[in-house]
Amino acid sequence: MDFLLSGLAACGACVFTNPLEVVKTRMQLQGELQARGSYQRHYRNVFHAFFTIGQVDGLAALQKGLAPALVYQFLMNGIRLGTYGLAEAGGYLLDSNGNHSPGRSAAAGALAGVMGAYIGSPIYMVKTHLQAQSASEIAVGHQYKHQVFPPQSWKLALVSAMVSSLAVVFTMTPFDVVSTRLYNQPTDARGKGLMYRGLPDAVMQTIRTEGIWGMYKGMGASYFRLGPHTILSLFFWDQLRFLYQKHNQ
C-alpha cells in the first residue's frame, strides 16, 4: 500500500507541476554549449517562457511529456518512499538498543532513492525529449520526434482517463465510502439503519473512529477501476452509436 499511495500522491502533484517542468527543461537547453550572448534567447525568464510556449506552441504544450512524467513519478516515488516505508516497518532503521538510527535512515533513504532513480531513468529521458519538442521558431536543444501515442489512439484516451481520474477519485472516495457503508449496514424490522442515522452521522463516526484516512479506504481500487471504466464506457457508447447510425441508414 505504501508503494501505491506514494506513487498516486506523486502523480497528483505532477499534473499541476508538469508545466513548470516543461519550462525548466526548455530554459536548461537554451544556449547549450554556446557562449553567453552568442545565441538568441527565446525564453528570458520563467514568466516569459510560460507566455512564449503558450503563444507559439499552444497552451496544451505546457503539459508536454505528461504521460511519461506520470509514469516516472509513480515508479520513482512509489519505489523510493515505498521501499523506505518497508525498511521502517521492518525495524531496519533501529539500532541494537531499539532507538532510531540516523545513519541507517540515511543509508535506507539513499538506497531507496538510487533504486527509484535507476528504474525511472529511461522514462525520464523520454519525458525530457517530449518536453523539449517545440515549433522551430522557439526550439532549443536537439529536437526528437517522439510521439507517445497517435492522436486517435485508445492508449491516449486511456492515459487521459487515468490522469483525470486522480482528481475524481480523491474528491469522490469519501462519499463513496459513506454510501457503501450506509447501503451495507444492518437494519431493523422497519428497514431503519442500526449503525448510522444518515450521511452526516456516518461521516462523523468514521472520522472519529478511523481517522480522516478512513474516508479514503479503497481509493486505490477506485482509481484503477475508474480509468478503464471511463474509457470502456466511451468506447462502447461510440460503437453502439455507430451501429445504430449504420442500422438507420
Highest mean pLDDT among 19-33, 72-86, 102-116, 164-178: 19-33
For residue 234, what pLDDT band results from cuts at 50, 70 and 90?
low
Element (H, E) at 185: none
| Higher-confidence position of 220 and 56 | 56
> Which is nearest to 69 in space by CA: 144, 150, 131?
131
User: What is the rounded average pLDDT of the residues 51-77?
Assistant: 87
Q: What pLDDT score does 116 carry?
A: 80
- What residue segments make up the domains of the chain, in order of their start? 2-138, 154-247
Give the cell for residue 20. Answer: 513548470
Phi, psi of 177 (to 5 degrees): -60, -45
pLDDT at 212 over 90: no
For residue 3, what pLDDT band results from cuts at 50, 70 and 90?
low
How many Cα atoms are found within 13 Å in the side-chain-facing hemisphere of 141?
A: 17
| Calpha distance 55→138 (Å, rounded) | 11
Beta-carbon contacts of 123 under 8 Å, excluding residues fewer than 6 positions away, are 68, 71, 72, 75
Domain 2-138 has CATH 1.50.40.10: yes
For residue 161, what pLDDT band results from cuts at 50, 70 and 90?
low
Q: What pLDDT score does 154 carry?
A: 60
